[in-house]
Structure 1
């Protein structure tokens, strides 16, 4: 695909939690890993959010959208990981010095210009993820860059902000709310879906050079995508970078399809139309469709809408889903049935024939229905979204879903920002900025390791959660073996259900020490680790794997060959290695097997 001719623009927003020890505006602790045990929850509060105008005097469209959903939110508070500040019952304390310094390290690593004075702002957020109804955020750096194999990518801005509350079954939990977070926004110069993945990987690798939280959910990537005939779409929720190129490619195809739908509607003579929905419950009292009949019998309603000149377009593929399915995502909590579907599958052919007459819909028009308790607002939203097809691609926020994405809300704008009145400006002097030392980046570590081991192995270990342990042990012991323990042996044991957490770094160091001195063979490492993961005693395990003398090995080889005449070398090796249980190296055993077979053949 020729991305240049499409006018493709791709930008990333990467959010990374900082391991600052405490939250951004209080002394509640921050875990170093999301795998750490969560706090016990002891209290719950409920809040209802209302919109406020931003600094521009306007209410942001995304904020208004959430307000119209009319939801009440429940928040669960823990004794150790949240306090009155998270509950918005106490003003924030001064910003965490550690978090600020880590964020400034990131600015310097990404070659950004750092502002000489930092001002925190409030960003209106009333989707429930912030008890206060806003998120505190501060602009730190701008105009940076990062180099990748496919070229240089600009860093537009870096901000320091507080993380949102994490959703749970009964609402939101406050242990994550307030954890320091950096937001890194690239410019829109990323060249392709594959380049986007590469940029995300390189930034992620750089972030792990400083003190950041590790584990699932500690880093989140959002992608902004547009084409010349489309609009900016923000796709949230990337946890697996492997899926990023596929989802971006799907969004490109979706925007191309929506641009084609606009052209087709223009060619048909379509013009802007209003919601035009109507309650048609009376047409479905005797319907054969079981779920609609059940909804009506339970006091529900059926609302219908006409989409002028849309016939045939609702089944057009827009990325990984049809236009009809995309419209359905706007019917919050409901689904739609439309005239481009196989109506016989629902048993609704006759009802839709009557419905067309009721709505005065012609053959070139499409019609749809929504059933449920109060579907009128949902039907209006679907109709409004359909009318936006006349403009092409509307700006919106979507969430990654399989190989594509689905609609979540309108795209937020600057109207949701207003000043933070509880936090004074923070001056960043040249002396203070120069005093912040930079760590060795993982790219530099990877380059150094590539001189001691295969490049692919070096790339894997710098991304591993065991990098720190590897760096300590590889100074004394063989780097390739140490890497194999953490990357291969531990992973294999986990897949087989063994608890690798039972194997301490002290255990690994003791085993490596015995291997280095020659009292335990290298080939025994997997077996030793497996027994330790099963709960066996370290001293007993190492003793049971102590290296046999050459005379003892030769004796076992001779006995096995004599007892199994006619065996080839490979079969003999299998039997002997099973007897030895890792107490001799495979190379030495093979040498003795060959010698014994040659001797017995004479």
Structure 2
């Protein structure tokens, strides 16, 4: 399938975004536990749960939660020395975190939103194990905002304050293992209006929202701290929610590929209608493969399983049709089968293959009454799995006759998507009775400075060049930069250290991720106090990164990186000059460049370059 650039106006493309961003607060949203992530091997104990959907206050059960619950799974949770009873769902949640509330109100101001008069916490049913409670707590904080893009304004419908889900660690034989370190971190969800009409506008809107969030200086940075969901539909298609777009740069490709997928599904539906296509009844076709050489099928049969098949009348050639890069209609069928525990499906558009012979294909067609114009899909697995999986294939094949199904899909790394579950409905929400409502007061929260405004201020106030000012303002260390500069650290030193020096060390495979804000602040303050020359910053940061349990002062003393006084510097320079006396007598001041490097190496970052330069010139002049 070649990439096609569509006329999006003609297709009636409508898209919207949901941006989920973790807040960088000291404690979690409903308890006083820290918001730092842990390594799974640090877990002190585990416990397990089984989750089932509950009815809403209107007595309804959400369709997405109901489908999720059809797959019986055990959820195992890793608990740490910081895990509390709230996270385990053994104690009611505490009141909403004040720091998170203030940050949300700052974000609302940046998007011209109107805060609600009273914020009520709601429960949103989620039974995939990512919450120990079986629901996620969510609070509407503001509505009716707007951002600008080059293609026009995009409305911001709502701003939610939520608790982050637990982090999926591994699939287990019984179900899924989650880590509780991430559960409960404050999270904002920003939902746009369906005002986006091109893939490029979707990307620009996401970039704008990301910039506004970072302008607060109070959001977490790094992989997994921000996630984008994209809602996409075309006029003849249906609304599809695409979850978990990790990289902002993928958004335009995701939208582009989803448009292509919906176009292809509409074309397939029209062709199926022209063929009077229909979906048959599932049948047990195990006998057809009694002597098969197919490894997949033989493995299922040897384990006492079955092969279930379904005739797809009029589907020949369409199950194997590509609807997105490297994805076919048959891949959609397979995604649904996998939700019920099957490894996937085979279908006659791709057979004979995988050890299935031409003779077995003919026998299969005959067994289910399929002709040359028909297709057949099969599932080989444990009998109960094969039966439920083939029923899922039947349901998906029936929706292929209608066109594009409304559903929730997951984003893949290559810009394509996969089926996850049906779209959730209103039945998944009901009030949280354990947390009192709050009345937001935006008047107490100052409006934060935009990153674009910071760039201008850094140039004017701190005399940083445009490139460095932008690096600092948009970088992860912007809040730390502002803190140390306000405490008297030279802005140029702080900016070059946090952006240039750390980048260079990272390229040299120094584990800079081990450096804390306390490490960085301490090193910069040592330079400012004259206890460390500029030239020693890189060496001291390297030492701290490799052994982070030390303070900057301890590391400087142990590594011999403290500042040398003028007498020590002159002694080192005299030694270098005398060692190169012949060169100095012959070349005079022209020997300076070569000896300067030797002097700096001899001093190992203990002295400022300007001082070394001054004293070296003096010593050369004495001998020239």
Short-chain TM bin: 0.7 to 0.9
**Superposition pairs of residues 518-529 of structure 1, within 5 angstroms:** 526=538, 529=541
Distance 2:243 2:33 in 1: 27
User: Is 1:183 matched with 2:201?
Assistant: no
Q: Which runs of 5+ in 2 are unaligned?
A: 171-175, 548-553
Which of 362, 370, 394 is matched with 1:353 structurally? 362
Instruction: Please give the alpha-carbon distance, in whole angstroms, between the structure 2 residues aligned to 1:190 and 1:563.
Output: 73
> Following TM superposition, by how much is the alpha carbon of 1:359 offset from its aligned partner in structure 2, in angstroms?
1.0
Structure 1 position 28 matched with structure 2 position 32: yes
- The answer for unaligned runs of 5 or more in structure 1 is 597-602
Separation of aligned partners in 2, 1:575 and 1:187: 65
| Shift in Å, 1:143 | 0.6
Matched with 2:68 is: 66
Hey, what does 1:328 align to over in structure 2?
A: 334
| Cα distance, 1:354 vs structure 2 | 0.6
Residue pair 2:28, 2:34 contacting (<8 A) in 1 also: yes
The aligned counterpart of 2:495 is 483
Contact 1:557–1:576 (CA under 8 A) maintained in structure 2 = no
- How far apart are residue 185 of structure 1 and its match? 0.5
Is 2:515 the partner of 1:510?
A: no
User: Hey, what's the Cα distance between the residues in 1 that align with 2:350 and 2:190?
Assistant: 43
1:327 is paired with a residue of what secondary structure? Answer: helix
CA distance in 1, matches of 2:509, 2:133: 43
Sort the Cα spacing of 1:284 and 1:507 in 2 relative to 1 into closer, same or farther, 3 A. Answer: same
1:599 alignment counterpart: none
For 1:63-102, what aligned pairs fall within 5 Å after superposition?
A: 63-83=65-85, 85-102=86-103
User: Under a length normalisation based on structure 2, what TM-score does the superposition of the two structures give?
Assistant: 0.81
Q: After superposition, give the CA deviation of every residue in 1:105-138 in whole Å (9 maximum; x if it has no partner).
A: 3222221122212222221111112222222222
Indicate yes or no: 2:543 matched with 1:541.
no
Separation in 1, partners of 2:229, 2:58? 26
Task: Please give the alpha-carbon distance, in whole angstroms, between the structure 2 residues aligned to 1:533 and 1:421.
Answer: 47
CA distance, structure 2, for counterparts of residue 230 and residue 560 of structure 1: 81
Q: Deviations over 1:344-382 (max 9, x none)?
A: 443432211110111111111111211111311111111
2:284 is aligned with 1:279 = yes
SS at match of 1:292: helix
Does 1:387 pair with 2:398? yes
Q: Is the 8 A contact 2:308 2:378 kept in 1?
A: yes
- 1:229 pairs, out of 228, 236, 256, with 236
1 CA distance for matches of 2:67 and 2:485? 55
1:446: which partner in 2? Answer: 455
The answer to whether 1:301 aligns with 2:313 is no
RMSD of aligned Cα (Å): 3.6
> What's the CA shift for 1:484?
3.2
Q: Residues 295 and 354 of structure 2 are in contact (CA less than 8 Å); yes or no, is this contact kept in structure 1?
A: no
Aligned to 1:600: none
**TM-superposed deviation, 1:414:** 1.1
Change in Cα spacing, 1:115 to 1:379, as seen in structure 2 (3 Å) is same
- Give the match's secondary structure for 1:399: strand
Paired position in structure 2 for 1:204: 210
Asked if the contact 1:396/1:411 (under 8 Å) is kept, the reply is: yes
**TM-score normalized with structure 1 length:** 0.84
SS at match of 2:279: coil
Distance 1:323 1:552, change over 3 A: farther
> 1:417: which partner in 2?
429
Contact 1:142 1:156 in 2 (8 A): yes
1:465 matched residue in structure 2: 476
How far does the alpha carbon of each residue in 1:187-226 deviate from its partner, in whole angstroms, 9 at most, with x for none? 1112432332332232223223153344433322211111
- Provide the rounded CA distance (Å) in 2 between the counterparts of 1:192 and 1:560: 69
Distance apart, 1:478 and its partner CA: 6.0
Partner of 2:381: 372
Q: 1:227 to 1:562 in 2, by over 3 A?
A: farther
Q: Deviations over 1:73-107 (max 9, x none)?
A: 23333342321x33333333333333323222322
C-alpha distance in 1 between matches for 2:77 and 2:198: 41
1:259 corresponds in structure 2 to: 266
Name whichever of 164-173 and 253-262 sits farther off. Answer: 164-173
- Deviation per residue, 1:429-460 (Å, 9 max, x gap): xxx33223333333321332354444443333
Number of residue pairs the alignment of both structures matches: 574
Aligned: 1:406 with 2:413? no
* Counterpart contact for 1:330–1:378, Cα < 8 Å: yes
CA contact (8 A) 1:109 1:438 kept: yes
- Please name the residue that 1:316 is paired with: 321
Query: How far apart, in 2, do the equivalents of 1:224 and 1:455 lie?
Result: 37
2:251 matched residue in structure 1: 244
